[in-house]
Amino acid sequence: MSKRISDGDGVGKEKEAVAEADRISSGPSSNRALPYVAHQVGLPPKQSLFQEFTARVKETFFADQPLRSFKDQSKSKKFRLGVEALFPIFSWARDYNLTKLRGDAIAGLTIASLCIPQDIGYAKLAGLPAENGLYSSFVPPLIYAFMGSSRDIAIGPVAVVSLLLGTMLQAEIELNAKNLVEYRRLAFTATFFAGVTQVTLGFFRLGFLIDFLSHAAIIGFMGGAAITIALQQLKGLFGIKIFTKKTDIVSVLRSVFSSAHHGWNWETILIGVSFLAFLMFTKYIGKIKNKKYFWVPAIAPLISVILSTFFVFITRADKHGVAIVNHIRKGVNPPSANQIYFTGELVGKGFKIGVVAGMIALTEAIAIGRTFAGMKDYQLDGNKEMVALGTMNIVGSMTSCYVATGSFSRSAVNYMAGCQTAASNIVMSFVVLLTLIFITPLFKYTPNAILASIIISAVLGLIDIQAMKLVWKIDKLDFVACMGAFFGVVFVSVEIGLLIAVSISFAKILLQVTRPRTALLGKIPKTKVYRNILQYPEAVQIPGVLIVRVDSAIYFSNSNYVKERILRWVTDEDPELKQKCLPKISYLIVEMSPVIDIDTSGIHALEELYRSLLKRDIQLALANPGTLVIDKIHASKFPDLIGKDKIFLSVADAILTLAPNYEI
């Protein structure tokens, strides 16, 4: 490793060395013409309170400057831009052409063939009749196609939200034939409030709230939910009649094994397992050869449904205990606005369920939208997306749909099938419409086992072992959040898993802010750069000077800790340190570069630090305070206390002023 001076080339370095030697020999007290003068620390231009406030609000809520394109435009242009902002379809439809249509049509047909069997299965997961699943793949995708800005997302019911909704609804209303109407009404109410939540978050630009569910927590949550959903499908796959209502792995497995002797139906198992094997095989096919055959797993579910339905129909296996779908209501979505609870005890419950389901649906949709936007390199306006998703769920709740969102598996197929715009959702939605009008009676003999197989093969893709491994490698605390969510979902319930995920994510932020790291700095030989002596073992500490870097904003939550930690560096009886700084410490330089902000408590802590140091005969100096910090330090008159000349542009500056004799 050839380490060289960082700020000059070879010759420069040598000349510099000569210059340094010159300087050292002349000493700090010499009468040379140009004594060293430290560079001033800049004070940012003073802003009025109003300016400061608006700048902060703008950066928090309007970080993406949504109105930028409206600036300096005529009124009619502004109106057009406004309409296009709300309905991006008017923007992309103008240069829509046949090539794009071809891509969208193929993609739309592919995702339709995938969504129809999934929808029927997911509706069961939510405890709703099969037709509600299909309804949710007709109206919401249409609305989204007009209002959404993602080009790749495929809208419809998804497994995790269906499971979450089902669990939470059944916690409020026991699901049986008598309560079915009430249960559906509560489902529509929850869907309505999920939509309202989403629109509200988007409209008030609070989209950043969903960022609080960390990537790692989502991976764990999704993986856990996938396992829970797959386990639940054992009921359909084995043809078990009496099954637990709980979702945790212990209850489910107990249910499965206690029914082993009398509750399993071999015909059902035969159908289910053989088609599951077929589906898994097509999934494998889809992955080889550069995903050239991605369409194989995409149409496999529909083929399975057709084959198995035909098989059951000719063998009349339903007479031998093979459970079948039996009845799906024919025709388009009936209106359901009058079924939403707006008064009574159930409004509150519907609201609570809606908020949680809406947030989770949002998290999933935005994550998917961002992923594909990143792959095709276009910008996605998170807040606008939320308004689109929310509107589609509000309209959905009035047309017998339940919470729809972006599906990861179908969006991936959509992308690979070459979708160009949101028009693929329109194509899909029309295929679903035709299905609802003409084909639903044909699903009568579809065995439930095949739906179970389709759901299992779909959700297994949500268990992302690779991503979990990566999280483990990068950040152990993230991994704890991931595993907490995973085991919470698997062993307790979906809500508990979610709660664990959110709590650990928050705790991580707070821990960071409460116990910031501090580091001792040393000079990297032959440079003017001061760095952490643990990270750079070659860095050398300056005798008599302790340079401490605080790695965080100094806030009320950590100001005491920071003060005491710094004092501990000073008074530390650590023999190692004592050896290194043999001469008595006479200066403590606090490197403030990472100190982004400071508050009243922080200033207070600095004052206390100064006083404690003074009693030990140690001078305090600050290096490189940032914009916010220098502003607040000046407002507090702290510079008068420690001396205005004790605040430096950089550590190098401070050392040159305070310990001018030192040179490595």
* Paired sense of beta strands 518-523 and 405-406, if any: unpaired
Query: Please, which of residues 641-660 interact with a copy of itself by CB under 8 A?
Result: 649-650, 652-653, 656
Q: Shortest distance, CB of residue 60 to a copy of itself, whole angstroms?
A: 5
Q: Which of 226, 234, 237, 77 is nearest to 159 (CA)?
A: 226
Specify the stretch interacting with a copy of itself by CB under 8 A; choose among 45-53, 254-262, 321-329, 419-427. 45-53
With binding defined as CB under 8 A, does residue 541 bind a copy of itself? no
Nearer residue to a copy of itself within complex by CB, 410 or 549: 549
- Buried b / exposed e across 255-293, counting CB within 10 Å, b at 16+? bbeebeeebbbebbeebbeebbebbbebbebbeeeeeee
User: Does the protein bind a copy of itself through residue 25 (CB under 8 A)?
Assistant: no
Across 390-452, where does the E strand assignment appear? 405-406
Nearer to a copy of itself, 278 or 479 (CB): 479
Whole-angstrom distance, CA of residue 536 vs CA of residue 163? 51
Choose the binding region for a copy of itself from 46-54, 129-137, 172-180, 286-294 (rule: CB under 8 A). 46-54
The residue among 314, 225, 239 whose CA lies nearest residue 270 is 239
Which among 124, 173, 119, 122 is positioned nearest to 353, based on CA atoms? 173
Q: State the binding string over 364-403 for a copy of itself (x if CB under 8 A, else -).
A: ------x---x--x-x--x---------------------
Scan residues 59-98 and list those touching a copy of itself (CB under 8 A): 59-60, 63-65, 68
Options 40-48, 268-276, 429-437, 439-447: segment touching a copy of itself (CB under 8 A)? 40-48
- The Cα 131–Cα 329 span in angstroms is 6
- Residue of 530, 532, 541 lying closest to 578 (CA atoms): 541
Q: List the interface residues with a copy of itself, window 437-476 (CB under 8 A).
A: 470-471, 473-476
Does 22 sit near a copy of itself (CB under 8 A)?
Answer: yes
Distance CA 423, CA 434 (A): 17
Q: How far is the CB of 210 from a copy of itself (least distance, A)?
A: 10
Q: Does 594 bind a copy of itself (CB under 8 A)?
A: yes
Interface region with a copy of itself, contact rule CB under 8 A, candidates 11-19, 283-291, 355-363, 456-464: 11-19
Q: In sequence order, what are the beta bridge partners of 23? A: none
Residues 280-339 that bind a copy of itself (CB under 8 A): none
Residue 28 is which amino acid?
A: P
| Contact status: 543 vs a copy of itself (CB under 8 A) | no
**Residue number, 60 or 73, with CB nearest to a copy of itself:** 60
CB atoms within 10 A of CB 89: 20
**Least separation in angstroms between CB 364 and a copy of itself:** 15
Q: If DSSP states are collapsed to H, E and C, what string results for 6-59?
A: CCCCHHHHHHHHHHHHHHHHHCCCCCCCCCCCCCCCCCCCCCCHHHHHHHHHHH
Instruction: Give me the least distance between CB of 481 and a copy of itself, in Å please.
Output: 9
| Radius of gyration from C-alpha coordinates of the chain | 32
In total, the chain counts a number of residues equal to 664
Q: In angstroms, rounded to a whole number, what is the distance separating the alpha carbons of residues 187 and 169? A: 7
Contacting residue, 612, 619, 639, 662, with a copy of itself by CB under 8 A = 612
Q: Is the distance from CB of 546 to CB of 525 less than 8 angstroms?
A: no
Of 398 and 592, the one with the shorter C-beta distance to a copy of itself is 592
**What are the DSSP E strand ranges found in 70-161?**
155-156
Site for a copy of itself in 189-228 (CB under 8 A): 208, 211-217
**Cβ of residue 114: shortest distance to a copy of itself, in angstroms?**
27
Nearer residue to a copy of itself within complex by CB, 348 or 374: 374
**CB of residue 449 vs a copy of itself: minimum separation in angstroms?**
38
For residue 614, give the H/E element and its range: helix 600-615
- Helix 448-459 and helix 266-291, axial crossing angle in degrees, nearest 10: 40
> Contact with a copy of itself (CB under 8 A): which of 552, 585, 589, 622?
552
Among 91, 503, 532, 541, binds a copy of itself (CB under 8 A): 532
| Stretch near a copy of itself under the rule CB under 8 A, chosen from 79-87, 167-175, 264-272, 600-608 | 600-608
Min dist. Cβ of residue 145 to a copy of itself (A)? 25
CA dihedral 237, 241, 244, 245 (to 10 degrees): 90
629 CB-near residues (< 8 Å, 6+ apart): 592, 595, 596, 597, 598
Does the footprint of a copy of itself cover residue 419 (CB under 8 A)? no
Provide, rounded to whole angstroms, the least separation between the CB of residue 663 and a copy of itself: 11
Phi first, then psi, for residue 63 (nearest 5°) are: -60, -30
Scanning 30-38, 82-90, 95-103, 239-247 for contacts with a copy of itself by CB under 8 A, the matching segment is: 30-38
Which residues face 532 on adjacent strands? 521
> Considering the rule CB under 8 A, would residue 36 count as an interface residue with a copy of itself?
yes
User: How far is the C-alpha of 188 from the C-alpha of 64, rounded, in Å?
Assistant: 34
Q: With CB under 8 A, what is the number of residues at the site for a copy of itself?
A: 127
Q: Which residues inside 471-490 make contact with a copy of itself, applying CB under 8 A?
A: 471, 473-478
Name which of 434 and 511 has its Cβ closer to a copy of itself. 511
Q: Looking at 519, 589, 618, 622, which residue binds a copy of itself (CB under 8 A)? A: 519
How far apart are CB 473 and a copy of itself at their closest, in Å? 5
Q: Is 580 in the site for a copy of itself (CB under 8 A)?
A: no
Residue 131 three-state SS = helix
The residue among 69 and 326 lying less far from a copy of itself, judged by its C-beta, is 69
